[in-house]
Chains A and B, each alone.
Chain A
């Protein structure tokens, strides 16, 4: 029986780009699709449950460390959150989520009243669970990246 190579750099890089892509590049298409569905399903479920507020590298930095393991997707969503959804407080000049009844001036990003908030800040359990879903997705993807770059001999039969 052929031993798998100890290191697959292309698989490692591809797995860092998108969950499951590393296994697809390594020739395991079905496995890659299932893994991608699992990790991305968890990540987008978190986003659906808690809204875009759950991906926030400024206010929830420690959680974002885990979410960042999902790959560039997390950074893109965080960038969109910081630059297109948060407002600049007119008094403190700091970025923050818009309050209810407060909108965002598209020209300069300042908070304007009255207006429609670009997104509603999630609180309580929905925020906790949404953040947890997306962070667990990142931690699982770390295992996936390692497996794509450094393939192990899989168990035959039951896992």
Chain B
């Protein structure tokens, strides 16, 4: 029984079992931003020769935007909320 449980834990099957990325989940922002940019700019861009640059710019915009939002949330919760919360 123990061997079976161990086998289930060890034998990862791609696309069937979830990835064990709970500690680095935030890094998944990069592939998400890239694929969203690729599909969206594929529709929007006028000439396809501009696509790689447009995708790179939009990916960077999404990633930096999310970092800025995270930072703003951190500052609000850590520094603004203590000022307005009743003591």
Report which A residues bind B (CB closer than 8 A).
19-20, 30-31, 34-35, 37-39, 41-42, 44-45, 47-53, 85, 100-101, 114, 116-120, 122-127, 129-130, 132-133, 136-137, 140-141, 143-144, 147, 154-159
Contact = CB atoms under 8 A, between A and B. Distances in A.
Interface residues of B, number: 36
A133 B42 contact: no
A117 B9 CA distance: 11
Contact of B18 (A31, A39, A120): A120
11 contacts: A34-B39, A49-B21, A51-B18, A116-B7, A123-B18, A133-B28, A133-B32, A137-B39, A147-B43, A154-B45, A159-B44
A51 B20 CA distance: 11
Interface of B: 1, 4-5, 7-8, 13-22, 25, 28, 31-32, 35-48, 50-51, 54
Contacts of B19: 48-50, 126
A38 B15 contact: no
Contact of A125 (B25, B31, B40): B25
